[in-house]
Structure 1
Amino acid sequence: MHEAERYGDKLFAASHSNESDRLSGLADTFDPASRRNLLALGLDARWSCLDVGAGTGTLSGWLASVASPGQVTAVDRDARFLGHLADRGATVIEADITDPAFHPGRFDLVHARFVLMHLRDREEVLRRMVSWLRPGGLLVVSDALAVGGETSPHEAYRRTITGYWHMIAETIGSDRHCAAQYPRAFTELGLRDVGMDTHLPVVGLDAGFDRFLALTLEQARDRMLAAGLPEAVLDEAVKHLAHPLTRESFFAMATCWGRTPTVS
């Protein structure tokens, strides 16, 4: 029996020629909102911070610029894009966070963005992430929340985005709606001061998001066609996205946070 494919095995693999650029588009789009959320939650230079699924390391690098030297750890299953973080004083760990034996230590902040939604065992990983927090520590998790694309009035775009979400759910187990359950899940895990924020970029108004979506569809093309999306429909959607007056939604970034109880 073959092991189920996971994010980064083949689809969205770090070895793909455009993966760094695709992830950079994602970071350009969402880093400002992530930074605002962390600052609003009281990010302190004294905190020890863990950035889970660090990608290209842009947010880890920013955390390292805010935190005291040696206080930031970045972890990713494939750390090839994280070499630059050593110059920022951050520690890089290449590890699989789904491994039950992985325990990176205890932190004041554990942050993960666009990670849990792509894991089939996300609930178990979320539970273990809470165990990586010190008393009073802050867990901040951001994931995509599908909105707009599957209801777009543009038929080819609507069918393409619907086909994309279905394909990655079947292929790698991604859940485009799981972020909506985080406030409940955080509360059930005993976290306090739970809150949520969303940020919705617009395709056609955000250059980074446009680049991310175009490269995502490029990488996913063969999988979507194999899953039954007509090539003419996908080509029409790509043409639509290239038009300078196109304005579409794809997903919002939903960010949920909560704190572990302090020791009385």
Structure 2
Amino acid sequence: MGEAPGAYVPELLDGYSTAMLAATGVGPGHHCLQLGPEGGAVAQWLAGRVTPGGRVVAALAGPGRRTPPHGIEVVSHDIATEPPPRGPFDVIHARLVVPHLARRRDVLHQILDALRPGGWLVVGDFHGPIASRASPAASSHGASDTDLFAAVLNDVHGRVNETGAGDRQWIGTVERHLDAAGMQEVHAASYDQVVRGGESACVLLRDHVIRIHDRLLRLGHRQCELRRFHDLMLDPGFSSWFHEFRCVRVRKPVTTYGARPVVPTPHRGVGSA
């Protein structure tokens, strides 16, 4: 994978991810695996759900933290080249991971193999580039600023964050791959949201763009454009649509005698299908 996403990602996505995870019925005694960058808060949320008797493993590329949060086992792991940590797991959460890999279909099957029969996989990612859309009514800025925001973000999550192997449309077809693998109870939800200047997500996004400033220049962005982007991220009068986030959950069939299924709790749904 390329450049890791910034700290704005959990600010924008954790609520959607945890809502989808809650719909699996994850609870005390379950074993969970967290895959992907910027997933620390989700791992802590899982740890709070599986106590007592549960286990949460957070697999991170690079050296693991020496003092992980209570209830979480952090391991150094590269899902692009290594099979998932030893399971089986009742719930696996993989966000901003699989569509970015050259071997995405093989990796998906390895992740499914790490699930306990009756267990759940929740996978999520941005779906395609930011589309050309009118500015939200609350924005005091015109199309030129909205177009600039979209152009920078599309490169941040496309040409900067990818190694050339990624496919930002793949998450929109993952149900087909899961169905072909024999999975059950597939549920997909797509989320749109508006981001506003001065809010914490935009401040964190500005910090991330500053960090990769030179790479964006090499992609053809001008200094004046990036300065304007920095200003917009602090301007309460600016608002724009963000990337569509697509999240899918799927259950592995109970095929082993005596296997412990993960039973979902009743819920009203976590988004539009």
**What corresponds to 1:97 in structure 2?**
79
Pair 1:57 & 2:30 matched: no
Question: Which range moves more in the overlay, 152-161 or 216-225?
Answer: 152-161
Amino acid at match of 2:117: P
Pair 1:188 & 2:174 matched: no
Q: How does 1:68-217 map to 2 (within 5 A)?
A: 68-80=52-64, 83-85=67-69, 88-146=70-128, 148=130, 150-151=132-133, 153-154=143-144, 155-168=147-160, 171=163, 173-204=165-196, 207-217=199-209
* TM superposition score normalised by structure 2: 0.79
SS at match of 1:73: strand
Q: Aligned equivalents of 1:181 and 1:229: distance in 2?
A: 31
CA deviation after TM superposition for structure 1 residue 190, in Å: 1.4
**What corresponds to 1:41 in structure 2?**
24
Deviations 1:13-42 (A, max 9, x none): xxxxxx8xx32x322322222222211222
Cα distance 1:111–1:149, how it changes in 2: closer, same or farther (>3 A)? same
Deviations 1:128-155 (A, max 9, x none): 1000011111011011124545556333
Q: Which runs of 5+ in 1 are unaligned?
A: 1-5, 13-18
Cα distance 1:172–1:221, how it changes in 2: closer, same or farther (>3 A)? farther
Match for residue 238 of structure 2 among 233, 246, 259: 246
**What corresponds to 2:271 in structure 1?**
none
Q: Answer yes or no: is the 8 Å Cα contact 1:107–1:132 preserved in 2.
A: yes
Amino acid at match of 1:74: A
SS at match of 1:176: coil
Pair 1:221 & 2:213 matched: yes
Q: Aligned equivalents of 2:125 and 2:221: distance in 1?
A: 25
Q: Answer yes or no: is the 8 Å Cα contact 1:150–1:162 preserved in 2.
A: no
Q: Aligned equivalents of 2:9 and 2:155: distance in 1?
A: 21
Question: Which range moves more in the overlay, 30-39 or 165-174?
Answer: 165-174
SS at match of 2:240: coil
Q: Answer yes or no: is the 8 Å Cα contact 1:192–1:260 preserved in 2.
A: yes
* TM superposition score normalised by structure 1: 0.81
SS at match of 1:251: coil
Q: Answer yes or no: is the 8 Å Cα contact 1:192–1:258 preserved in 2.
A: yes
The structure where helix makes up a greater share of residues is 1
**What corresponds to 2:267 in structure 1?**
none
Amino acid at match of 1:98: A
Q: Answer yes or no: is the 8 Å Cα contact 1:201–1:209 preserved in 2.
A: no
Cα distance 1:221–1:177, how it changes in 2: closer, same or farther (>3 A)? farther
Amino acid at match of 2:170: C
Q: Answer yes or no: is the 8 Å Cα contact 1:146–1:251 preserved in 2.
A: yes
Identity %: 24
Match for residue 257 of structure 1 among 241, 249, 253: 249
CA deviation after TM superposition for structure 1 residue 80, in Å: 4.7
Cα distance 1:102–1:44, how it changes in 2: closer, same or farther (>3 A)? closer
